[in-house]
Amino acid sequence: MTSPVSKTKRMRVLRATFVAVLLLILPAIAHRQPPAQEGFVPVDQLPGAEQMPAAPLVAAAYAVAWAAVLLYLFSIWKRLGTVERELADVAKRIEAGSRR
């Protein structure tokens, strides 16, 4: 007879294996390729659902890039302010120490 601990451990391993198999199989099932088309189809003859306008995607990419640059510059500006305050404090300490 097996102990309850080993049954619990076995069930965990079985569940983990099942989840791993599902995670490996589901993407393959979800991304099946559509049936092959016969011959070449020009882009202007594709259905609307298969055409992707480039302008909104390019604009979104530039917006994300500029937002990242501006966030980076803002973080540098904030850190520079902190460093300037610390340098001013050090200068005051040095000046106060030299007066003694």
pLDDT digits (tens, 9 = 90+) for 34-87: 777 778 877 777 776 656 678 888 999 999 999 999 999 999 999 999 999 999
- Tens of pLDDT, residue by residue over 58-68, are 999 999 999 99
Rg of the chain's alpha carbons, rounded to an integer? 31
Q: From CA 18, how far away is CA 12, in angstroms rounded?
A: 10
Question: Does 58 lie in the same domain as 26?
Answer: no
- Note the pTM of the prediction, 2 decimals: 0.45
Q: Is the pLDDT of residue 1 over 60?
A: no
Residue 68's domain comprises: 53-100
Number of domains, the chain: 2
Is the CB of residue 76 less than 8 Å from the CB of residue 84? no
Q: Domain check: are 62 and 100 in the same one?
A: yes
